[in-house]
Structures are given as C-alpha cells and as structure tokens.
Chain A
Amino acid sequence: MFTRIRSWGPPVLLIAPTLILLGIFVYGLIGAGVWTSLTDNVRGQTTGTVGLQNYENLFNDDTFVYSLRNVGMYTLAFVAGTLFFGFLWAWMLERGARGEGIFRTVYLFPMAVSFVASGVVWRWLLNSNTGESASGLNRLLDMVGLGFLQGQWWTHEGWGILAIAMPAIWQLSGYVMALFLAGFRGIPEELREAARVDGATEWQMYRHVIFPQLSPVALSAVIIIGHMSLKVFDLIMAVAGQTNHTTQVPGTQMWLKYTSGEWAEAAAIGTVLLLVVAVLIVPYLISTYRAERRR
C-alpha cells in the first residue's frame, strides 16, 4: 500500500498545483461561461436557465451571422496570406540569399509590434477617401499612377474584412517564415543528395522530398494562425472601433453584448467561438496524440 503511494504520490503532488490552477481558471471558467450562456443573465441578474434560447437568438441575428461570415473570410485570407509569404520568404532565404540574418530580422520584426499599436497606423493608412482628399494608401496609389486601385478598404460591406487581414498578414508572415526556415533546416542534406542522385528534377525533389517533410510545420502554422485569427479583436478595435458594421466579428460582438448588459448572449458567443476553435484544434491534438503513441 505504502509503496504504491510512494510510486505515484510524488508525481501527482508535483502536477497538483498546475492541475488545480488549470482546473479552476481554465476548465472551471469554461464551465461557468457555458452555464451563463444557458441562463437569462442580464448584468449579473438572472432568473434561471432558458435552454438554448440565447443560441437561437444569435443565429437569428443577421449581424451575428454576418460576423461569422466575416471571421471566416478573415481566417481564410489570414492563413493563406501568412502561409504564402512565410513560405516564399523562407524558401528565398533557404536558397542562400545574401544578408540572411538581416532579412530574417526584418521579416520577423513586425511580430514584435502589438496589434493595437500597428492598428492605429493602419487606421490612417487605410483611409477610404479617394481622389483629391485621399490619404494613406489611397494617396500613395494615386501618386504612383495606380489611382484605379484606390478602394474603400475596410468600409466596404462585402470585402471590407479582407482589408483588416492585410495588417495581420504583414505582422505574422515573418513568424510563419521562421517556422518554415526551421523546417527547412531540419531536412538533412543527404536526403536532397539522394534525390538528386536518383535523377529527380528540382521540382520533383521539392514535391516528393521537401514538402512531405514540411507538412507538420505547415499544419502547426495553420493551427497557430487559425486560432489567433478566429479570436481577432484587438486589431479591429484599433483600426475600425467597436461598433463599425463592416468589420464585425464574434470578438467585437461579444464585447458589444457584454457592454449592453447581455451577459448571457455574450457568454453564448464565447461558447460558439470556443467550439469553432475546438473544431480546428481537436483533430490536430488527436493526430499528434496518435503519432506519439505509434512511436
């Protein structure tokens, strides 16, 4: 009996603090949030549970559905953009570009700036005035003779959200580049040599040797960028403000509901967000778990 406790007691004691803290502050609060979303909580006053009424209200609310559509478009653009630029830059550096150290720093640097700080600048860059009174990017386009490219940016109802993805891509591409660069460095030179000896063309080597080795890195990048993107809030608050219609996402909707005292609906939005992120992350966790078991 004692020997048993001796064998599993210390490890349990060691992880107990983390378990308790995680249990209370992560899983306990998730539970509290889900519970709140099932009540009619208004500013902390509640008369009991209302089932899924709040979720029904949300999905009947045009603005919320629009915000889901927005965050979907934003995520697609953000993930595709960062993967494209991140891979391109990593590939160029990997080919032995001169001054690699400098470029690495230059590309990675935007990540050090907070979304709020860069958002304030992008708010000005993405001014929607055109023609004479244009400023920011529109002015620049006008000056270089590309005036026809001037746009409404984030004030456009259909595509506005994509303008918000621009600063996000600019900030995170360097990070994805660093991931890919690490991935490239992890591929032993011998593999490439072997491929060349077997008569593979450059493209075939990339297609059959390099890309498969990079796919775990790409998956990590998708997961990291994807979940950041679904939770977007600070960048939009800084660029467009909380009530701007064209840039509504679940994050801003949750803030607005909370401010209006609709705590239950705010909690419901939080739960929807959690589920959406879970759809993205849980398969990834399962696949890594399986891969580790196989080892």
Chain B
Amino acid sequence: MEVLLIKIEKRNDVSRSIYFLTPVLAIFLTLFGGGIIFYILGFNPIEALKFFFITPISDLYGLSELLVKATPLCLIAIGLSFCFKSNNWNIGAEGQLIFGGIVGGGVALLFYNHDGFYVLPIILLSGAIGGMLFAMIPAILKTYFNTNEILVSLMLVYVAKLLLDYLVVGPWSNPEGFNFPETRQFSESARMPILFDSLRIHAGIFITLISVFFSWLILYKTYLGFQIKVSGLSLKTAKYAGYKGKTMIIIVFMISGACAGLAGVGEITGPIGQLHRNISPDYGFTAIIVAFLGRLNPVGIIFASLIVALTYLGAETAQIFLQVPKYTGQVFQGMILFFLLGSDYLLFFKIKFLGLKKNEL
C-alpha cells in the first residue's frame, strides 16, 4: 500500500517584512472568506462587505465611534503585549478592566457632586491601581506558589464580574433608581472631557496614545524591555544571564493590569458615565486577538485595534441595513485570528511533500 508522506520542517530564516505582512494577508483572506459567507447567506457579497467595512466609517460620527471602540481595545492590548512578549499568559484582562472600573467608579461615587480639576485624575489613577493590584494576584501566585497564571487570571474574571454585580445591585445602587442594578450617573467633574460637540470621542484616546509611546520606549529602549524580550525568546537564556525572573513577571503583570484598569475606568467615565453590570462587552478578551493581530508591536496594535473595532461597528450597520445576523462580527474576528495563526504556521514551518512511498507496516 502506498501512502503520501508529508514532512513538517522548521524554517530557519523568516523574513521580517513578511512577518509583519501576514496580518495584512490575514485581513484580506478574512474579507474574501467573509464575502463567501455573505454569498452563501444570500447577500450580495460586495454590497454586504461595503456595509460592513465602509459605511460605518463614512461620516465623522462613525469615525469618532471607531475611535471610541478602539481606545480601550488598544490600551488593553498594549498592556497584554508586555505579558505575552515575556511568555506570561494573562488571559484575565477582562477581570482587571472590571476591577479597575470598580475601584475608579467607587472613587467617582465618593466624589459625587464634588467639583475640581483633580477629581478625574484621582479617579483614573485609582482605576489603574485597581487593575494593577488585581493583576498582581495571578503574578504573585505564579512566582511564589507555582500556579498556572492562565487559569488563575481567567477565573478571577468571574470574581470581578460577581463583585461588580453585588455592588451595583446592593450597596452602590442608585438610591433614586428603583433598585435597578446601576449606580448614579457620575457628576460632570468625574467625566472624561468630550473632544468635539455631539461626538462621543473623549480624552481617553490621549491616555491610550501616551501608553503606546511609553510601551514602545520601555520595550525597545530600556534594559527591562530587553529582559522581557529575552525571557520571551528563551527562559533558560534569561536565567543564565542572571535576570531576576520573578520581579519581571510581577512587573509585566502590573503594567498589563494597570492598562486594563485604565481602559475600564476610561469606559465608565467616558461613554457610560456610571457603573452597571455591562461596562465591558468583553473588551478584555477581544484585546487578546488585537495584541496578536498587531504582532505585539505598539504600532501594529494601533492598527489592529482599529480593524477589530471596525468589525463591531460593521456588524451593527450590516444588521441595520441588510438584516445580516449580528454574530457575523464575531465570525469575522474569529476568521482574522484563524487566518493569522494559519499563515503564521506556514511562515515558521514548511511542509515538504516527499512523494508516494510504500507503506512498510
């Protein structure tokens, strides 16, 4: 009996430019695959793709909404890139976001009806610290008790969610809100300044851009960044070089948690304006896709966050204009990740067909 032999070999030289081009390829493949799905569903593929990717950003309001949506995604993904680059798998950014929101929101309620320029910075800072402390739990458990950070950080998401549920239903619920599960609307001094009248884009975008700049600075211009990258490439080398692995793990988790916490507090002081149970439509999980789509590179993450944000907006417009099911947005996100991982595999490994051989068994 003859069988086809396939051998998978690791490629030794991977071109840098192709490495950064594969995400673009993945996006085109997604568009193509999406077109086919739309065709099968009975829609004109070109028209559907246009409603999905062009109509949402064809006016100023749409562009502003794109940035509103991309702001938290980019910020969280930037933080995650520190963890992922150093081989620390922080899956719980959603929980860190929510906990940051809880702490920031608590401070905002404390400053209810209180004016002053210092109110918002204090809220933002406390949100960042909240997220940071929450991210330190899996980091410390990992370094000192050898637990698995994937499981711990993921399970802590549910802890944060339930804590938020408890607070908005119970002690923090709006006294005039008929027991509905939400807090008061924060006062004006606790809200992110809006950049343009009648658009929702807010000052949070500057926080994100500043974070992008600092993450680039840390990752590419400091000793810490070098340590992070080396540990990511080879833990043994890092140990051999005498890097303090434990401190570094805790630091990357702190950075990641602070970014997620800031994103959370940015959402509640920005477009939402209060605490309730749905402060994040799973931004913390979607940001994982963003981080990898952006190749864990600060500039790449900016573009990736814009593209992923667009899939959210597109799913809404496509539904409004064509009644395409809303979940196509998630299908698109899944396809982007699938094509990216697939092309990555082909980028790092080559498949050799060794022809037909006689089966000896």
Q: Do A and B bind each other?
A: no
Residues of B within 8 A of A (CB): none
